[in-house]
Amino acid sequence: MEEDIEKIQEETKRWNKDCMGKHTFRKVETDWGMEIKPLYTVDDTKDINYLEEIGFPGEYPFTRAPHPSMYLGKLWTMRQYSGYGTADETNKRYKYLLEQGQTGLSVAFDLPTQIGYDSDHPLSQGEVGKVGVAVDSLADMETIFNGLPLDKLSTSMTINAPAAILLAMYLAVAEKQGIGPEKLNGTIQNDILKEYTVRGTYIFPVGPSLRLITDIFEYCSKHVPKWNTINIAGYHMREAGATAVQEIAFTFADAIEYVNAGIKAGLRVDDFAPRISWIFNTHNNFFEEIAKYRAARRLWAKIMKERFGASDPRSWMFRFHTQTAGSALTAQQPLNNVVRVAFQTLAAILGGAQSLASCSFDEALALPTEESVRLSLRTQQIIAHEIGVTDTVDPMGGSFYIESLTKKMEEKITDYIERIDELGGAAVAIEKGYIQQEIQESAYRYQKEVESGGKVVVGMNSYQVEEPLPKGLLKVDTEVGAIQIKKLKELKTDRDNQKVQSTLLALRKTAEGYANLMPPIIEAVKAYATLGETCDVLREVFGEYEGTSVI
């Protein structure tokens, strides 16, 4: 074999010499500054130790897959990000998606819910039900999941600052369905650090926010053992402009901060690390995306084992959800997005996703219609059943280009993490604006490349056509705000207000002390304290995060 490699190296040199002068080779560079070679051979992978660096599916360092059988055992969860208007409309959309073969739920909440304001708050005006479903109290959550058996479904909730409250409501809905918390499968995003950098739905300052997160870790490890207690997110950083390398690096830096917080709160790393999950953004560059996920699996396993000394193999496992890139969709010639979404979905599957949301073609213009979201779900189903990519585990493994790119990306991600370590960790790096600045630089560079025509975006900066105004877009009923306010008024008349006050007082006392916040939050939501009332108690005790912004 060694002789073979020497021969191949010689022949590669010869081929380069023969061809480089004679033929035209376009120069190619990744967004993160690595030159891509015209040809990859065994020469590029000879330093990668197969047994140590690539290994086998389901075994450390998990480069090939987190599970031994992958899609041969179980397909990924098809989980479209969905929710709008009232709880009733959202419940109908979920039932429709499940009838169409979707296998998990993913709840999109409106902005007031994500920021802990009730629908009747002055700052909620105009926003109720717009980017997701409005939830003011347990009553809305009961309607969202009406007729949906929570012990047979897994539910992901994109909720961060008030994650503890929405989780408490979910537990309460399950209890009403007669389902114990130990039977529940699902995920809360619960990732506050990226809210400070790119997503913006923060409420509390860093310290109390980390306490809420570690309280959830602790509570769930005892009572809701199958729940993914955090879904650390690179998705939104990528949408904000980060490169693929920055996406993984900054997300891992955030993750390291959370693991440190858990350990500092007195938890054993193996008690909560197996419940860490992820969401990333699967973008346009096909092979880069596949390599990104392989690099992330390997690097996370190393971080958990070597840096944190985790000994449970489940702590080393990187299991991720991904959504295709919203920012890669164009408002121009929207049907072209069908093709983009299909390629991104394919990359996600070749990258080994556990759960996937594919965008709908009309999402650069509005929330998706039933028809467009169904087409997007069908895209996943075609990839799952018709084109053979699920017939073996990690079919891309061993490709000279993929393995070499995986290695390079792992190195670049590691460099960034080291830089953030030197700054004092993710929370400090965010406070200093370092992560925000790095992302903004990438976003601006990208924009300039698009505007100069250096990056071709089909239908937008090239191959344009005159087109009629788009038709048939989904419009959220403008009455949602009024409907929610009316429901709130009725709720406040019908509920036991004394009980609400006493549970909120108990929550306040706990917040002022050090005990776990989950039990009093659960009591308050069960008494139908509203989301806003519950958050207000915490705001009064914890204060609020002050956002800063530089350009």
Partner 1 sequence: MNQDRRIRVLVAKPGLDGHDRGAKVIARALRDSGMEVIYTGIRQTPEQIVDAALQEDVDTILLSILSGAHGFLFPRIMELLKKKGLGDILVLGGGIIPEDDVPELKKLGISEIFGPGMSSQTLINYIRESLSQV
Q: Which residues bind partner 1 (CB under 8 A)?
A: 111-112, 114-115, 117, 123-127, 130-131, 195, 198-201, 239-241, 327, 330-332, 364-366, 440, 443-444, 447, 451, 457, 460-461, 469-470, 473, 475-476, 478, 547-549, 551
Question: Please, which residue, 11 or 451, has the CB nearer to partner 1?
Answer: 451
Minimal distance in Å, beta carbon 108 to partner 1? 12
Cα separation, 16 vs 21, in Å, equals: 9
CB of 540 to partner 1, least distance (A): 19
Answer yes or no: are the C-beta atoms of 165 and 136 closer than 8 Å: no
Query: Of 37 and 121, which CB lies nearer to partner 1 in the complex structure?
Result: 121
CA 235 to chain centre: 5
Strand order in the sheet with 185-188: 81-82, 105-107, 154-157, 185-188, 227-228
Question: Closest separation between CB of residue 331 and partner 1, Å?
Answer: 4
Nearer to partner 1, 45 or 201 (CB): 201
> 382-413 b/e with 16+ CB inside 10 Å = b?
ebbeeeeebeebbebbebbbbbbbbbbbbebb
In angstroms, give the least distance from the CB of 266 to partner 1. 33
**What amino acid is encoded at 68 in this protein?**
P
Asked if residue 376 lies in contact with residue 339, where contact means CB atoms within 8 angstroms, the answer is: no
Question: Which of 493, 549 has the CB closer to partner 1?
Answer: 549
Q: Closest approach of Cβ 363 to partner 1, in Å?
A: 9
- Of 202 and 316, CB closest to partner 1: 202
Q: Which is nearer to partner 1, 77 or 344 (CB)?
A: 344
Residue 154 or 201 having the CB closest to partner 1: 201
Q: Name the residue with tokens 């990333």.
A: 280
Cα separation, 178 vs 158, in Å, equals 25
Least Å distance between CB 50 and partner 1? 40
Least distance from partner 1 to the Cβ atom of residue 332, Å: 6
Q: How far is CA 158 from CA 70, 293, 375, in A?
A: 25, 21, 23
**Nearest-approach distance from CB 290 to partner 1, in angstroms:** 25
CA atoms in the 13 A half-sphere facing the CB of 388: 1
Instruction: Please give the Cα distance from 161 to 154 (Å, whole number).
Output: 21
Structure tokens at 83: 């929710």
**Cβ neighbourhood burial of 451 (10 Å; 0-12, 13-18, 19+):** exposed
